[in-house]
């Protein structure tokens, strides 16, 4: 089976940096993805890490350590619109995803 | 935005009735997925398809069946709906030849079983 752990809620202020951690236990690991979901909306893809290291896309970065079964999403220069739920997910064959339960990020002024 | 639609968007039904949800894509993506989302559980994979007529079970497949007779359509059927199947259902697509690791999600179907 597969399981992922991430914090249920994180709070931060505009302009700050926040890190959302994700640990996983899995068999058949292909990579770690991150998705954003605004309330009531469809999840949208943010990033994917197959190899150890940091991937940067604009204000968002994602990190993976396969040996530690650990990854994180780093959000910089936080904006109010970043208030959303963030899900880590491990991918397997046919790109199937097993999601964590999500982290609700609340950004305040 | 990827062309994915789901129908219906909202449905209320009664326990014991069959329900079919439709996912339609215009992207010609090979892989399609059905997830359900419930508070406290995140998204959980129900079934997926890796080609026309090729499907397999996901994490929470009991009480659900799927069919894919053509590339663009993936149907999810609740054979006899139960209150525990009240949920938001998302369809997603991806393709091994294009951004393989990115899934595009449809807008969701909110299903209530009374």
Average pLDDT over chain A, rounded to an integer: 95
Let me know: does A99 contact A88? Beta carbons within 8 Å: yes
pLDDT for B1: 56
Q: How many CB atoms lie within 10 A of CB A57?
A: 9
Min Cα separation B24/chain A (Å): 15
pLDDT for A23: 97
Partner B, chain A 48-77, Cβ-Cβ below 8 Å: 48, 50
Residue B11: pLDDT above 70? yes
Nearest chain A alpha carbon to B106: A42
A79 touches chain B (CB under 8 A): no
Nearest chain A alpha carbon to B30: A94
Instruction: Decide if A87 and B44 are in contact by the 8 Å CB cutoff.
Output: no
Let me know: does B69 contact B77? Beta carbons within 8 Å: no
The average pLDDT across B4-28 equals 97
Min Cα separation B48/chain A (Å): 8
Taking every pair of Cα atoms in chain B, the longest distance, rounded to a whole number of angstroms, is 42
pLDDT for A28: 80
Query: Cα A80 to chain center, whole Å?
Result: 18
pLDDT for A24: 96
The pLDDT confidence band at residue B80, using thresholds 50, 70 and 90, is very high
Q: How far is CA B4 from CA A15, A41, A61, B74, in A?
A: 34, 14, 27, 11
- For residue B37 the two structure tokens come to 């989302």
The average pLDDT across A32-58 equals 94
- For residue A84 the two structure tokens come to 């959303």
Instruction: Decide if A96 and B40 are in contact by the 8 Å CB cutoff.
Output: no
Min Cα separation A16/chain B (Å): 26
pLDDT for B53: 94
Which run of H or E residues covers position A35?
Answer: strand A31-37
If phi over 0 gives left and psi between -120 and 50 gives alpha, with beta otherwise, what is residue A101? alpha
Q: What is the pLDDT of residues B47-60, one digit of tens each?
A: 999 999 999 999 99
Residue B2: pLDDT above 70? no
């Amino acid at each position: 089976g597969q399981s992922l752990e991430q914090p249920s809620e994180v709070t931060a202020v505009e302009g700050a940096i926040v890190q959302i951690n994700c640990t996983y236990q899995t068999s058949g690991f292909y990579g770690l993805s991150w998705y954003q979901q605004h309330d009531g909306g469809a999840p949208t893809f943010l990033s994917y890490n197959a190899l150890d290291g940091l991937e940067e896309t604009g204000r968002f970065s994602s990190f993976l350590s396969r040996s530690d079964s650990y990854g994180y999403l780093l959000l910089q220069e936080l904006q109010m619109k970043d208030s959303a739920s963030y899900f880590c997910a491990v991918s397997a064959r046919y790109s199937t995803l097993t999601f964590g339960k999500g982290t609700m990020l609340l950004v305040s002024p | 935005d990827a062309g994915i639609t789901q129908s219906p968007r909202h449905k209320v039904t009664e326990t014991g009735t069959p329900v079919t949800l439709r996912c339609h894509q215009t992207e010609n993506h090979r892989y399609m997925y059905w997830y359900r989302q419930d508070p406290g559980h995140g998204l959980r994979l129900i079934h997926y398809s890796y080609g026309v007529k090729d499907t397999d079970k996901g994490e929470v497949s009991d009480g659900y069946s799927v069919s894919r007779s053509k590339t663009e359509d993936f149907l999810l059927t609740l054979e006899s709906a139960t209150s525990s199947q009240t949920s938001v259902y998302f369809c997603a697509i991806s393709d091994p030849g294009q951004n393989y690791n990115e899934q595009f999600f449809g807008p969701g179907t909110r299903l209530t079983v009374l």
